[in-house]
């Protein structure tokens, strides 16, 4: 194609096809880049703060908690009443969540 020659329909179609192909390629690469940016990073497999052995209960009764802490049952009730030991009410029962108890003990040990 000469620079001073008039453009034919075939020339215009060829130029337009090249422009559209380049634009489509740029759009594809932008879409791939934005998809890469949106891909969340895989979460690290961090061990849980407190893992229970299989079959263990998540909560303790006051008697169980008192035995494990080496205190009397009435002392356990008093500690819950004052907020020193966290508790959870399920219906009429007051239970002590193991995880909260361990976290409380770890904070007190520091």
pLDDT band per the 50, 70, 90 thresholds, residue 106: confident
- pLDDT of residue 21 exceeding 60, the answer is yes
Q: Please report the pLDDT score of residue 9 as a whole number.
A: 74
Question: Does the pLDDT at position 39 exceed 60?
Answer: no
Question: Are 57 and 98 a contacting pair, CB within 8 Å?
Answer: yes
Query: For 62-94, what is each residue's pLDDT tens digit?
Result: 899 999 889 999 998 999 999 888 998 989 999
Taken in order 88, 108, 57, 44, the sign of the CA dihedral is positive
Chain mean pLDDT for the chain: 79
Mark 38-47 as b/e (b = at least 16 C-beta within 10 Å). eeeeeeeeee
In sequence order, the 6+-apart residues with CB closer than 8 A to the CB of 106 are: none
């Amino acid at each position: 194609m000469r620079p001073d020659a008039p453009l034919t329909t075939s020339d215009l179609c060829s130029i337009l096809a090249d422009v559209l192909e380049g634009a489509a390629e740029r759009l594809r690469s932008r879409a791939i880049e934005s998809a890469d940016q949106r891909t969340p990073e895989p979460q690290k497999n961090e061990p849980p703060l407190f893992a229970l052995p299989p079959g263990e209960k998540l909560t303790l009764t006051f008697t169980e908690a008192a035995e494990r802490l080496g205190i009397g049952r009435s002392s356990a009730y008093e500690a819950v009443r004052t907020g020193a030991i966290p508790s959870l009410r399920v219906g009429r029962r007051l239970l002590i969540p193991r995880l909260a108890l361990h976290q409380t003990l770890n904070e007190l040990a520091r």
